[in-house]
Structure 1
């Protein structure tokens, strides 16, 4: 009997006083000086009704899933302040939906459901609205960044070897005038090989050039790397070019990364009076390297 009475007394004190766990001086209604554990549940089923006993839920199923929140009621089922934490580690989406005529509130316009995409996290809390019932989406974290590395640079397109006047072709980096970059982020023009235009009554071939660039920094991991090339023109010349990718490999000096590109002038083929389409200016090659890992 004495034990029964002491439990009742302790229960009465815990209702009306601040309670401390591992602290003699609680500064809140409940103060915990230590770790806190709550229910953890990993779900693989594509349909799941969230339980009143759930707290942190992870989804790792193989298809799109639907998670349904408990229906908000009154009294012990009002759920005011109830928090659910939901993490999606699958490769599919979770549709989080309210039930029993309840709604979700992302802003001031209630909605019936919310999609938690792959890699994302959401917290939902029940507010004090028992008329209609509302869950507040209190916190969301978007998916982790895409698994893509990106590098960008701007290289030089040298003048054509058959221009008037032209710049003679070279190999083995014997001309350093068109290298670009600073520090270790430098691209050498190892070689250029020019092909002049051909313009006859039967066909026309544009002026073009094959350029080999070599990166002087740490070689790139070229596995699953995809170059995106655009030719630019910041000069007073009206020339228009197109650039095509030929190869990307770590086969340069001491294993450095080499990029081979074919560049062609496309706005003008052949001769026009004293002018010809073998360009004499220096133009730009915008380079974007993207690697999926």
Structure 2
């Protein structure tokens, strides 16, 4: 059975000698909300919000110019969805620290506290903690199998080896040369190729592209110049891009040699791609 005590302006629960304004000698519980709506207004009785939306969503904090005095109030918000981003909005032109909103990815959580600013502008909330999701993911693939590519023809970058993968290599299909995003988040994709051609006194231009769901997100050119000397010269390029991906998004590499370059074919000599979750 619990007891409530008052002493010197302090209140104690389960203790007769409260040393703080409120001292609880025992467990403590607050409101727990399990939210599935993609758009949600955080209410007066919210404390811990577990969000599991079915699309990218927004949780809006209470308007600081209305309602009760909320100074010091805390909100815990966790994104428990599998693939969607939750944006925490400070309401109108109010700010969380120096920004209007904070985005949390699947598995991430945020702790916010209400400041003593009750206006419609300025810092009305502070971000105390942002717990990041596990980022220990990397997948690297390569091929050193030489391939002949015709000018003006687009080829999907072909890979023969999964060199390293923290997920066992299951995310990269060596048959379709496609990487499938295993978990929503920000990823750095790196793409490298080296190649050559054998026609002398000719330059050939090469375009390499990183495609997300079949659409180019980043492109890089390089030039192969071969003078009247040994055909063992090599050229190559490196491209990289950071993308906010959803679970199930696909990434492929695309390669094409310019049309009318003066040499009908080239050899793609080495190809590599690396996927890193940031």
Compute the TM-score of the two structures, normalised by the length of structure 2. Answer: 0.48
Structure that is richer in helix per residue: 1
Q: Larger relative CO (CA 8 A, sep 6+): 1 or 2?
A: 2
Compute the TM-score of the two structures, normalised by the length of structure 1. Answer: 0.46
